[in-house]
Amino acid sequence: MSHPTTFRKKITTGLVGGLVLLSVILLWNEFDRRIEGTWSAPGEWWGKRATLKNYGDDVSLWAEKFDLPAAYLLALIQLESGGRKPAGKRFESHVYKRLQAVRDGKRTRYENIRTADLEGASDEALHNLATSWGPFQLMGYKCILLDLQIRDIRGKDAVQAGVTWIDQTYGEALREGRFEDAFHMHNTGKAYPKSGPPTTFHPDYVVRGMRYMLNFTDDASE
């Protein structure tokens, strides 16, 4: 007859093993969804297929006009928004606080945004400027540099606006084939570190971007 303690240990081990197996299955399914794309309802496509379906034509058009690699732009869209359309938005509270400090004269600038750029801006306006929008998830305050409105980076012209910003900020890096630098610049504003780990929000951001780009490059070469 088994001792009660031994029995409980077996039960616990079985439950833990089951949970680990379930976690692995869920993670694999998530990985597959992000790479190949899937959908659960109309408008909820995401992943590689979604990126091509929702943005492929626009990316091809503007990549050619700006002489930028379409595979990078598609990979960036998949990385930033999963290729969803509409792409959604993400509020960044730390950016909001910094923009607020610039507006209120407590900070001289945030990146290229100065107090004069935010004069008279309401808290609601700052909230929009501190939110990322569109397929490339551009921060709202980038509109100030592009002389655009928020609707331009999240609406029907979002790809054009995003590619314009990319061309102006790190287009040369892309034309030189410095793709790791490009992904890192998009997320942090700085080139990939020459030593030490990347400083992106997610440590694997650049690695994932390069993997996605390879997928789109392979498609183009077939």
CB proximity list for 222: less than 8 A, separation 6 or greater: none
Please indicate whether residue 5 or residue 64 has the higher confidence score (pLDDT).
Answer: 64
Cβ partners under 8 Å of residue 171, min gap 6: 66, 68
Cβ contacts of 143 within 8 Å, gap of 6 or more: 129, 149, 150, 152, 153
Please give the class, per CATH, of domain 32-86+156-221.
mainly alpha
Mean pLDDT, rounded, for 7-36: 52
pLDDT at 115 over 90: yes
Question: What would the DSSP string read from start to end of 174-189?
Answer: HHTT-HHHHHHHHHHS
Which CB contacts under 8 angstroms, 24+ apart, belong to 192-195? Answer: none
Q: Which residue is listed with tokens 């943005």? A: 55
pLDDT at 145: 85
54-78 pLDDT tens trace: 999 999 999 999 999 999 999 999 9
Q: Is the pLDDT of residue 36 over 60?
A: no
Alpha helices (runs of H) in 37-149, residue ranges in sequence order: 48-66, 70-81, 93-103, 123-129, 142-146
For the CA atoms of 104, 106, 109, 114, what is the dihedral angle to 10 degrees? 30
CA 38, CA 122: separation in Å to the nearest integer?
A: 40
What pLDDT, on the 0 to 100 scale, is given for residue 22?
Answer: 57
pTM over 0.85: no
Measured CA to CA, the distance from residue 121 to residue 66 in angstroms comes to 33
